[in-house]
Amino acid sequence: MEESIVYDKKSLKTVQGRTADFAELAKDCVAFANAKGGSLHIGIEDSNELPPENQRISPTLPEKIVKRINELTINVAIQPNIVTSKNGGEYIDLKVFPSKINIASTTKGQFYYRDSDNSRPLLPDELSRLMTDKPAYCWETTVSMSINWKMADDSKLQTFVQQIRQSDRVSPFIKNKSEEELLSYYQMTDDNGNLTNLGVLWIGKSEQRARLMYSPIIQYIKYDIEDNKVLKFTWDDYRFNPQELIEDIWQKIPDWKESNEIANGLWRKNIPAYNEKVVRELLCNSLVHRPYTTRGDIFIKLYPDRMEITNPGLLPFGVTCNNILQKTVKRNVHLAKIFYDLHLMEAEGSGYDLMYELQLSVGKQVPTVKEGDDYVEVTVNRKIVDKENLKLLEYVNQFYTLTQKNRIAFGIVAAQQKILSTELAAALQLQDGERMRSYVDNLVNQGILVTRGQKKGTAFLINPKLINNADFTRATTLKTIEPHILRTLIEEDLRIHPDSKISDIAERISDVDIRDVRKIVYKMLSDGVLESFGANKNKTYQVVKKK
């Protein structure tokens, strides 16, 4: 099992003997408590999956760990258990519970957070953000009004129970529960049968939902080409639960159902202005991931060329605009589970993957995320960036077996025609170059993409044979020109235009990336084919004259 945001391994030396380092263990416990909680397996080395076969844990060691961690931390709750692994060796499974309301720290006033597989210190601004965000994580299970579940909206209750029992994402064990047990399982009621905030939001009556603090209000505004408001709808009467809200919004706004016909000879294809799955996923995100402790309406703004959905509050702590494709932090865990079990949204961490795939598959830009002072805004463009690519994208999806990651990577490369590995990693929001293999290796192995260069200079291109096989007519470009041909082209250009800067050459060979031009020029200079004059920005080049 690999170390992650909820799992870590520690040597037994950390808690016993002269090498014991309880301060380091306390740091990890604080980090887990401030994140999602998790488990520390003490007695398993980092390079191993199991403890030594003959390892035995002293029965008094768990008690010692609890005592020392309590002495070294604040707002940290732990539970250690001695576990016997399948090879007979013993280790300690130290469960760290998430601190849902308060911020955990060491007694020295140090704050940590679990980020992927690391426990890192919290910066001052991050600490302030986490303190603001904490109350939002327990909003769902809070009982703010004494409303027994039998006083809920019976039609909404029956619809919920029926949908859960028909869902293929719910186990038979859960389906066989009674109505009261189902509500308790989905955290809609407390131990006394009173509706939690989540219960009121989903199955409450409209007047009950109206009294709920910051129950969602949604405004739709349509603008014309001059940014004048031409249409407005508002959902502010609290009649609908989140599922009904999404359905009513989709049905009431006709603009989303428009489409454009793309023609290429005899080939015709109708492309929706906005993919229904993308729209629904964004609406789900706006309801599931918003902080319900923050006042503010959800705005859907439709412009002639784009759609913007603005949500009150900031992204969940740990998620940024630059890692949203690769990182998921649930703010409203139980609401997200209901959405998933009812097929209203994708599984954890796959919503943005789906939107990237759907947008790229029809030659559109991926959604862009912007975080303001107190809001998050997602923009989806209506325009198809490269109509020529549509036939190629369709051909690849039809004749090749690709994963979702493959389709995302291929869509990005197809749009750029040529892209460096570092640029592709940035587009995929990947920090670890090794992880990019899951996106591109299958594409290269099947001959869909070809590579040029090495290491950080590696570039990915569409295989010319693929374009030929797809019977795909594409405007000729120099972006994918072979290095030796580019070298000849630069030499010819400098014979015609001697004493030119690299920027001048790149401007005349406009399709070629200036970095490729620079690389070839430097190589020609070292080979003695070119000579240079001047320095820095004023340096010019010309072909060496043969004596």
Phi, psi for 316 (deg, rounded to 5): -55, 150
Q: How far apart are CA 200 and CA 211, in angstroms?
A: 9
For the chain, the first-to-last Cα distance in angstroms comes to 68
Task: Judge whether residue 265 has pLDDT over 60.
Answer: no
Predicted local confidence at residue 95, as pLDDT: 96
Tokens in use for 309?
């959905």
Phi, psi for 289 (deg, rounded to 5): -100, 0
Q: How far apart are CA 321 and CA 440, in angstroms?
A: 23
Q: What is the mean pLDDT of residues 461-470?
A: 82
Helix runs in 421-482, H state only: 421-427, 437-445, 464-469
- The number of beta carbons lying within 10 Å of the beta carbon of residue 310 is 19
The SS3 call for residue 219 is: strand
Phi, psi for 367 (deg, rounded to 5): -60, 140
Compute the C-alpha angle 9/94/106, nearest 5°. 90
The SS3 call for residue 500 is: strand
Predicted local confidence at residue 249, as pLDDT: 95
Tokens in use for 244?
């009904």
Tokens in use for 512?
């070629």
Predicted local confidence at residue 287, as pLDDT: 94
Predicted local confidence at residue 471, as pLDDT: 65
Amino acid code (one letter) for 468: N
Tokens in use for 44?
């398993």
- The number of beta carbons lying within 10 Å of the beta carbon of residue 533 is 11
State how beta strands 7-10 and 38-42 pair.
parallel
Domain 483-543 matching CATH 1.10.10.10: the answer reads: yes
Could you tell me if 56 and 46 are in contact, meaning their C-beta atoms sit under 8 angstroms apart?
no
Predicted local confidence at residue 475, as pLDDT: 59
Choosing among 1.10.3720.10, 1.10.10.10, 2.120.10.10, 3.40.50.920, the CATH entry for 389-469 is 1.10.10.10
Task: Judge whether residue 219 has pLDDT over 60.
Answer: yes
Compute the C-alpha angle 348/352/356, nearest 5°. 145
Q: How far apart are CA 46 and CA 528, in angstroms?
A: 53
Compute the C-alpha angle 46/52/55, nearest 5°. 120
Dihedral (C-alpha) 337, 339, 340, 346: value to the nearest 10 degrees?
Answer: -130
Q: How far apart are CA 364 and CA 382, in angstroms?
A: 7
Q: How far apart are CA 462 and CA 392, in angstroms?
A: 10
Q: What is the mean pLDDT of residues 212-225?
A: 94
Could you tell me if 403 and 382 are in contact, meaning their C-beta atoms sit under 8 angstroms apart?
no
Task: Judge whether residue 523 has pLDDT over 80.
Answer: yes
Q: How far apart are CA 76 and CA 78, in angstroms?
A: 7
Q: Which residue has the tokens 């235009």?
A: 497
The SS3 call for residue 472 is: coil
Q: What is the pLDDT of residues 66-115, one digit of tens each?
A: 999 999 999 999 999 999 999 999 999 999 999 888 899 999 999 999 98
Predicted local confidence at residue 262, as pLDDT: 73
Dihedral (C-alpha) 444, 447, 453, 457: value to the nearest 10 degrees?
Answer: -40
The SS3 call for residue 480 is: coil
Average pLDDT, the chain: 89
Q: Which residue has the tokens 């939107």?
A: 355
Q: What is the pLDDT of residues 134-161, one digit of tens each?
A: 878 889 999 999 999 999 999 999 999 9
Could you tell me if 405 and 438 are in contact, meaning their C-beta atoms sit under 8 angstroms apart?
yes
Band (pLDDT 50/70/90 cuts) for residue 472 is low
Band (pLDDT 50/70/90 cuts) for residue 474 is low
Q: Give CATH for domain 7-122.
A: 3.30.950.30
Q: How far apart are CA 522 and CA 524, in angstroms?
A: 5
Q: What is the pLDDT of residues 6-45, one digit of tens each?
A: 999 999 999 998 889 999 999 999 999 998 899 999 999 9
Q: What is the pLDDT of residues 362-417, one digit of tens each?
A: 889 999 999 998 899 999 999 887 777 788 888 888 889 999 999 999 999 988 88
Architecture field, domain 218-381:
2-Layer Sandwich (3.30)
Q: What is the pLDDT of residues 165-197, one digit of tens each?
A: 999 999 999 999 999 999 999 999 999 999 999
What is the percent of the chain where pLDDT is above 70?
A: 95
Band (pLDDT 50/70/90 cuts) for residue 347 is low
Per-domain boundaries in the chain? 7-122, 149-210, 218-381, 389-469, 483-543
Task: Decide if 7-122 and 389-469 have a common fold.
Answer: no
Predicted local confidence at residue 138, as pLDDT: 86
Could you tell me if 354 and 404 are in contact, meaning their C-beta atoms sit under 8 angstroms apart?
yes
The SS3 call for residue 296 is: coil
